[in-house]
Structure 1
C-alpha cells in the first residue's frame, strides 16, 4: 500500500493536500539520474545557463508573490506580514545565487620559488562538488529551500531535496518555477519520504555533499553514517543569549528584542531565548519588555495584523506547555502568558529567573517563551551564556564601545549582534552554528562555495 502524508494548516488543522511518499525502491532511479547527470561532463550546465535559469526564476517568483505568500502561510502558519517578507527575501536569495556565479574563480599559484618548481605555470579553478542531498526544516519552508536548492543550481550541482513533511508545498512550488525557468530535467528532484528512506538517500556513496537544516540529534546521526568522502554542512539550533547592560537604550532595544523573541512564535534557530539583564535595570526592563509583548496580536496568520501565529503542530503546543509548567514548579516567576490559547496557539510567555537546570534554560525552546535572568557581574553573565553546548548567534546591548567589544570577544558564538536581536540575518552574511549547533557556514555565497571543489592545473614548459 502506497504511503502518503497529509499537509494541514497549523492554525486550524484543515487538510490542504495529500501527497504520496516514495519508497526505498523508488529512490534508486532518483540517485541514478543525479549521479549520471554529474558523471557525464557534457551534461554540466555552463555558468551563463545557470544565471539565466536563476534570474528567470526570480522574475517568476516576483510575478507570483501573493500566491506564494498565501501558500507559505497555509502550510507553515507564519503570519502574513512575515511570510510576505520571507518570499521577498527568497527572491533576493535567488538573485544573490545568480550573482555569485561570476565569483566562482580560482587563482594563480606562484611557482619558481625553488629550483625544483621552475618552468611551471600553476592555477586553480572551481568545479561543482557533485550530487547534493539536501534535507530541510519546516520553519522557513521557502527560504530554506532557496538556501539549499538555488545554491546547488548556482554551483552546478544536481540536487535531491527533501523538505520537512509538514511544509513541502513551498519547495514543490519553487521546483515548478525552476522547471519553467529552464532548469533541465533531473537537476532538481524533490523527494517526499520517511526517515528510513531519507537516511538511505543521504548515506549513499553517490552523494558528494550533504546539507542539513534541522534538529541536532538527526543531523549528527546522519553525519556519522555518511559515506567516506561525502562532505557536509549541518545547521542546528541554539538557545540564543542576550546580555543587557545598564546603559542600554530601551527605546531601541525593546522593539528589537520583542521581534527577535516572538517572530514566527519563536520557531527560529536563533530566536532570542535567554536575556541576561543587569540588576540595576531589571525591574524597568521587565516592565517595558512585558508591556510591549502584551501588545502582540496572536491568532490567524492570514490576518494582516497578526504578530504571532500557531506552532507547527499541536504536539509542540503540548511540549511548550509542559516545559513552562516544569519551569514554574522549579522556581521560575511567571511575568506574562504561560498558557495555551487553543490546540495550536500558545501565549507569548516571559519567565523570570528560571532554574539553570530547567529545560527552558538548558534546551532550545523553539516556541514563544523567553527567559530573563538577572546578573551583577558581566563576566559571570557571559559565563552563564556560554555554559550550554549550543553556540550560534548572541547579542549585547550597550552604548559603551569597550564593553561591546569585550563582550563580543568573550561570547562563544559564530555571530554577535551589538544593539540588535539575535535573530538578525542577511542572506549574504556568514550564518551557522558552532560546536553542537552545527558545522560549516551558510549564507548564499558561502554555501555555493562549499558546494564547489578546487582543481589545480600545472603547466611545465621551458618557455615559462
Structure 2
C-alpha cells in the first residue's frame, strides 16, 4: 500500500528546502491532517524569482534534445510513481481513485506531448519585396522564450493543471516559479522532486513554492517576471490581472457550461456522457456540465433517464474503487452550494435527485426549472449539481447557452451537421464539443475561454506560444 511522508519540502532554485513545516494539508474525506509541507515566505519567493532571472539565459540556450530529455525523464518517473501520485491526489483533493488515476494518465500525456513539441519550435521565412523599396530584402522570424514565468495552479486538478504550465515552460525554455494551491500542494511538489533529478537544468530553472495568499503578491506584482499564468476563480484571476503590471497574463477561469441534447440525439450515449460531465470528481471542474438544455420532444424521457441514473451514483470514501462522488474540497464549499440548491427550490425549481449534505459530502443533485436569476443557474456551481431546461427551436437553445457571463466550452448532441456548424459559428465559447459534453478535453488541443472565463489558451503548443515572443530578422542582400 502507498504511504505518504509526514512532511514535504518546497523546491527553491531546483533544490529541496525545509524552512518550516507550517502548511497542514488534510485528507479531504476524513478531515484529518495527512501531512505537513514547507510554506514559502516573501524572502524565499524573492530568492526564487532572482534565481529564475539568472537562469533565463542558460535555459534559453538549452538544446531542443536537452529539453526533450528532461521531459522524457519526467514521463518515465511519473509512470514509475503512478500509484503514489494517484493516491496522493486521492488524499489531498478527495478525488475518487479512478478519477485520480485518470489525472495521472493525463499528467503523463501532457509531459509526453511537451517532449514532442520541444523539438518543433519552428519559425518562418517571409518575402519582404512587396514593393520596390524592399527589393533585395528578405525576412525571417523565430520564437524565443519570454523569460521568467510565474505560475499559480488550482486545487481541483493539482497534477494536470500544474503540468499544463510546467511542461510547456520546459519545452520552450522558460524558468519558472510556481505557487500550487495550499489545499493540494503535493502533486506539484512531487513534480519538483522529479525535476530535481535533471542535472541539465540550470540552477534557478524552477521553484515550487506553496505559499499563503497574503505572502504571495510577488508571484503577481514582481516586474522581473515576464508572464503570469493563473488558473482559478474569476474573482481572483481578474484581480491578479489588474495587479500584474506590464507582464503578459494568461487566465484560465470559471464556467457554468451548458450542453444541448437535440431530438435526434442518441439518448443512451448522451445520458452516459452527461452523468460523467455533471458529476465526475464531484463536479469540481470549470467545464463540468452545469446546464442541460433538452429538446421538448425528448425532454420527459431524457429527464427521467437522467434522474434514475443520478440516484444510483455511489458517494463516500474516495479511496474505494466503487465510489463515484467524493467530498467537495471543504465543508464550507459544500454548504455554499447546498444553500444555492435550497434557494433555487424555494424559488420554484423542482428537485429531481439528491440535494442532501453531510459535512463536505454533497449528494449528486439534479434540478429542473431553476430561475435564470438564481445563483445555481447564473454562477459557477463547482460541485455536483446539474439543472435542466427545455427548448423547441435550435437558435433559442444556442442563445440559452450564451446566456452566461462565462464562455469556456459547450457540448451539443445532434446528428445534424448544419446545426453543428451553426453552433460553431454562434456559440460564444472557447470550444464546442459535438456528441460530447463540455467537460471533454485532450491535452494537445487549444483550451481556454472568453468573457469571464479568461484570456489565452492552454494545450502544450498553444501555451508555448504564450511563453515566447517573436524575434524578427531582416536581411538586405548585397548587389
Q: How does the TM-score come out when normalised to structure 1?
A: 0.96
Alignment gaps of 5+ in structure 2: 1-18
Matching residue of 2:88: 71
Pick from 408, 415, 422: which aligns with 1:392?
A: 408
Does the C-alpha gap of structure 1 residues 408 and 105 become closer, same or farther in structure 2, counting only changes over 3 Å? closer
Matching residue of 2:35: 17
Alignment gaps of 5+ in structure 1: none
Q: How many residues align?
A: 460
Matching residue of 1:139: 156
Aligned residues of 2:59 and 2:174 also touching (Cα < 8 A): no
1:218-272 alpha-carbon deviations (Å, 9 max, x no partner): 11111111122x1111000111011111222112110011001001100001000
1:36 Cα deviation from its structure 2 partner: 1.7
Give the 3-state SS of the residue equivalent to 2:285 in structure 1: coil
Q: Distance in 2 between matches of 1:166 and 1:396?
A: 34
Matching residue of 1:267: 284
Pick from 92, 105, 109: which aligns with 1:88?
A: 105
Aligned residues of 2:281 and 2:325 also touching (Cα < 8 A): yes
**Alignment pair present for 1:31 and 2:31:** no
Q: Distance in 1 between matches of 2:312 and 2:59?
A: 59
1:44 Cα deviation from its structure 2 partner: 3.5
Q: How does the TM-score come out when normalised to structure 2?
A: 0.93
Aligned residues of 2:169 and 2:176 also touching (Cα < 8 A): yes
Matching residue of 2:478: 462
Aligned residues of 2:55 and 2:203 also touching (Cα < 8 A): no
Pick from 220, 224, 239: which aligns with 1:206?
A: 224
Aligned residues of 2:280 and 2:324 also touching (Cα < 8 A): yes
Pick from 189, 203, 206: which aligns with 1:185?
A: 203
Q: Distance in 2 between matches of 1:119 and 1:279?
A: 66
Matching residue of 1:98: 115
Does the C-alpha gap of structure 1 residues 172 and 278 become closer, same or farther in structure 2, counting only changes over 3 Å? same
Q: Structure 1 residue runs of 4+, over 6 Å off?
A: none
Instruction: After TM superposition, list the pairs within 5 Å mapping 1:43-442 onto structure 2.
Output: 44-182=61-199, 183-228=201-246, 230-340=247-357, 342-442=358-458
Does the C-alpha gap of structure 1 residues 276 and 42 become closer, same or farther in structure 2, counting only changes over 3 Å? closer
1:41 Cα deviation from its structure 2 partner: 4.8
1:188 Cα deviation from its structure 2 partner: 0.9
More displaced, 375-384 or 421-430?
A: 375-384
Q: Distance in 1 between matches of 2:32 and 2:44?
A: 29
1:99-127 alpha-carbon deviations (Å, 9 max, x no partner): 00121111101133322223333211111
Pick from 454, 464, 473: which aligns with 1:448?
A: 464
Aligned residues of 2:46 and 2:218 also touching (Cα < 8 A): no
1:43 Cα deviation from its structure 2 partner: 7.1
Aligned residues of 1:141 and 1:168 also touching (Cα < 8 A): yes
CA RMSD of the aligned region, Å?
A: 1.6
